[in-house]
């Protein structure tokens, strides 16, 4: 119950995503937080102060020069009587104002006056988001200590344009708020950890590829769990349909070779965890043009070559991280094969996972793993992928303790 009795000051700026802020208020209050809202003038064109006030069960603040407000609360108090200031949606305009220290309305004045952490959930047209001016402002704000959640890729409500700029979903923003307010110990603070996740796509031609059923859920959950313990997590993800976890730096790749290049670029690191279901083979030559179906010629045969083993490469690398963990996705002789993999791949731990179809692990939400290491085998019970991730993150923290150096 991280949010219980926490005070959130929510600044709603003008954008169509403001409708999602209504849901955000509801989610925060469900978790026991109190939410006080400041709306910009433009925000009121999208959602009414009446609706916002009803959901937050408080009056809504919007005017810098409202005598009554300035008399009894005022922008300074408003900005300090909170544990966290959240801006959702954060527009390009409001980002620009704070990056430059402007304070000509209540929202910007509160942001400039606060002594509390600020979290922004940007929402804007993809071109506005990628504009050099917005990029500069973001860099400035990050250097000033402002945290960001999102934006996500997606189609824009108003223009149908696709790209990065859609506001993070309310539950992702809640997770980012929880991460920010979480006062729990951070045993992995200052540790850089690489995590691979998801499947890889191996191209056959520009429109076809070979893939597998990995959803990325377990790898992403591990990345998130490590970040919650304070690690600087670099997540190298194959194509997945789930969002990047909060608080990690995600690098998106498609093929095994791209994944390998991304991972090796991230070395040195304190630990590396290989959860991705990397394709063992790729087509010998991906065709540059779409392969046509030719009448009477029959299907083409695909010559395959082996992909690099990314885990083994890092396990035997001259910059090998102190802790290297692999996963073994097996349908038979689970433990024997895991033990062999430890050696062959240069790993300290293999997390052995029974992926036989009866188990429903691939794409599912639960799994049952065994931890195989030089110290023996430890059986974990049937757990959700989030619980498995939390346990594994705790194990990583224990293994990286300075005492074990």
Contact, 18 vs 46, CB < 8 A?
yes
Does the footprint of ligand CTP cover residue 326 (CB under 6 A)?
Answer: yes
DSSP letter for each residue of 156-201: -TTT--EEEEEPPPHHHHHHHHHHHH--S--TTTT-EEEEEESB--
Count the site residues for ligand CTP by CB under 6 A: 14
| Integer Cα distance of 131 and 329 in angstroms | 43
Q: Is 333 helix (H, G, I), strand (E, B) or coil?
A: coil
* Closest C-alpha among 75, 134, 132, 130 to residue 100: 134
Query: Under rule CB under 6 A, which residues in 282-311 are in contact with ligand CTP?
Result: 307, 309-311
* Cβ at position 241, least distance to ligand CTP in Å: 19
Q: Where are the beta strands (DSSP E) in 245-293?
A: 249-252, 271-274, 281-283
- Residues 184-203 touching ligand CTP, rule: CB under 6 A, are 196
Q: Which two tokens stand for residue 227?
A: 């970040």
Distance, in Å, from the CA atom of 175 to the CA atom of 186, rounded to the nearest integer, reads: 17
**CB of 242: closest distance to ligand CTP in angstroms?**
17
SS3 147: strand
Provide the minimum distance between the beta carbon of 315 and ligand CTP in the complex, in angstroms, as a whole number. 9
Question: Considering the complex, what minimum distance in angstroms separates the CB of residue 314 from ligand CTP?
Answer: 8
Lay out the site mask for ligand CTP across 151-190 (x = CB under 6 A, - = otherwise).
Answer: ----------------------------------------
Residues 239-268 that bind ligand CTP (CB under 6 A): 256
Cα 249 to chain centroid distance, Å, stands at 7
Q: Which stretch binds ligand CTP (CB under 6 A): 23-31, 71-79, 167-175, 276-284?
A: 276-284
Closest to ligand CTP by CB, 180 vs 307, is 307
Nearer to ligand CTP, 11 or 393 (CB): 393
- Cβ–Cβ contacts within 10 Å for residue 299, how many? 7
Segment lying near ligand CTP (by CB under 6 A), choices 110-118, 141-149, 155-163, 273-281: 273-281
Sole window of 4-12, 120-128, 247-255, 321-329 interacting with ligand CTP (rule: CB under 6 A): 321-329
What's the min distance (Å) between Cβ of 53 and ligand CTP?
50
User: What are 157's two structure tokens?
Assistant: 């409500």
- 179 or 256: CB nearest ligand CTP: 256
Q: Is 185 exposed, middle or buried (0-12, 13-18, 19+ CB in 10 A)?
A: exposed
d(CA 297, CA 313): 41
Q: Tell me the β-bridge partners of 152.
A: 166
Question: Is residue 278 close enough to count as binding ligand CTP by CB under 6 A?
Answer: yes
- Binding of ligand CTP at residue 276 (CB under 6 A)? yes
Q: CB of residue 335 vs ligand CTP: minimum separation in angstroms?
A: 13
| Pick 74 or 203: Cβ nearer ligand CTP | 203
Q: Which of 13, 90, 221, 328 binds ligand CTP (CB under 6 A)?
A: 328
d(CA 93, CA 124): 10
Which of the stretches 54-62, 322-330, 358-366, 374-382 binds ligand CTP when contact is defined by CB under 6 A?
322-330
Write down the least CB distance from residue 224 to ligand CTP, Å.
Answer: 18
Residues β-bridged to residue 61: 38
Instruction: Tell me which residue of 141, 128, 223, 142 sits closest to 175, measured CA to CA.
Output: 223
Q: Which residues are catalytic?
A: 212
Cα–Cα distance for residue pair 396/191, rounded to 1 Å: 11
Binding region for ligand CTP (CB under 6 A): 196, 256, 274, 276, 278, 280, 307, 309-311, 326-329
């Amino acid at each position: 119950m991280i949010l219980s009795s926490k005070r959130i000051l929510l600044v709603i700026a003008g954008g169509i995503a403001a409708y999602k802020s209504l849901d955000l208020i509801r989610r925060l209050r469900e978790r026991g937080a109190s939410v006080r809202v400041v709306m910009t003038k433009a925000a009121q064109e999208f959602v009414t102060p009446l609706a916002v006030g009803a959901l937050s069960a408080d009056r809504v603040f919007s005017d810098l020069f409202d005598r009554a407000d300035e008399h009894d609360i005022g922008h300074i108090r408003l900005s300090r009587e909170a544990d966290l200031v959240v801006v959702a949606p954060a527009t390009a305009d409001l980002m620009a104002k704070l990056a430059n220290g402007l304070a000509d309305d209540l929202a910007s004045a509160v942001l400039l006056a606060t002594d509390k952490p600020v979290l922004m959930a940007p929402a804007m047209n993809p071109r506005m988001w990628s504009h050099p001016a917005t990029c500069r402002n973001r860099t400035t704000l990050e250097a000033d200590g402002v945290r960001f959640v999102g934006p996500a890729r997606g189609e824009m409500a108003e223009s149908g344009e696709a790209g990065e700029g859609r506001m993070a979903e309310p539950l992702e923003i809640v997770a980012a708020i929880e991460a920010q307010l979480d006062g729990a110990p951070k045993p992995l603070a200052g540790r850089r950890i690489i995590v691979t996740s998801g499947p890889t796509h191996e191209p056959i031609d520009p429109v076809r590829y070979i893939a597998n059923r990995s959803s990325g859920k377990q790898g992403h959950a591990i990345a998130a769990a490590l970040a919650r313990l304070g690690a600087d997590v670099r997540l190298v993800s194959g194509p997945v349909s789930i969002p990047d976890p909060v608080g990690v730096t995600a690098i998106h790749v498609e093929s095994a070779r791209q994944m390998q290049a991304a991972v090796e670029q991230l070395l040195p690191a304190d630990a590396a965890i290989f959860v991705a279901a990397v394709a063992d083979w790729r087509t010998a030559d991906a065709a540059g043009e779409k392969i046509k179906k030719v009448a009477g010629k029959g299907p083409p045969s695909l010559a395959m070559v082996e992909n690099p083993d990314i885990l083994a490469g890092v396990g035997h690398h001259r910059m090998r991280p102190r802790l290297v963990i692999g996963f073994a996705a097996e349908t038979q002789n689970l433990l024997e094969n895991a033990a062999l993999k430890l050696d062959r791949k240069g790993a300290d731990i293999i997390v052995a996972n029974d992926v036989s179809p009866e188990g429903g692990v691939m794409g599912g939400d639960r799994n049952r793993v065994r931890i195989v290491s030089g110290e023996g085998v430890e059986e974990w019970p049937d757990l959700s992928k989030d619980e498995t991730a939390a346990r594994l993150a705790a194990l990583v923290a224990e293994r990286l303790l300075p005492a074990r150096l």
